[in-house]
Amino acid sequence: MMKRLFLVLFVLLLLVACDELPTTIDLTVANDGTTLQAKTGQTINITLDSNITTGYKWNLVSQPDAAVVKFVSSKYNGPFTGGLGAGGTESWQFQAMGRGTTLLKLAYFRPFDPNQVAKEFSVTVVVQ
């Protein structure tokens, strides 16, 4: 009887573990223009190519609804090669806070010339 109870509990634990969502959702340029389904508490990481030596950087141009998704941080990751002027990536991190829908929109431009946008990235986030 005890073995059977142990087996049932083990199977239930396995089913619960398999149903869990990853705590982090990683996005790249391939996700541009898409709609993302997220759960409260999940972290959304966006990693995009960037080259700080050109003066360009990614900028958050549409503030997300903070009750739905909160901005956490952004950072530039230098190039993996030692080449002068080689590009790297920028990483942006957001946290899913509560139910709703919001837009994350980034634009790649020089801070002194925000009207000359070289690239854009956006994703609609639906938090359930």
Q: Residues 6-40: pLDDT tens digits?
A: 444 454 444 444 455 579 999 999 999 999 999 99
Work out the average pLDDT over 82-97. 88
Range with top average pLDDT, 2-16, 76-90, 96-110: 96-110
Residues 24 and 93: their CA atoms lie apart, in Å, by 10
Beta-sheet strands, E only, within 1-128:
24-27, 34-38, 43-50, 57-62, 69-77, 88-96, 100-109, 119-127
Write out the CATH class of domain 19-111: mainly beta
Provide the whole-model pTM: 0.80
Work out the average pLDDT over 42-61. 96
Residue 91, strand partner residues: 47, 75
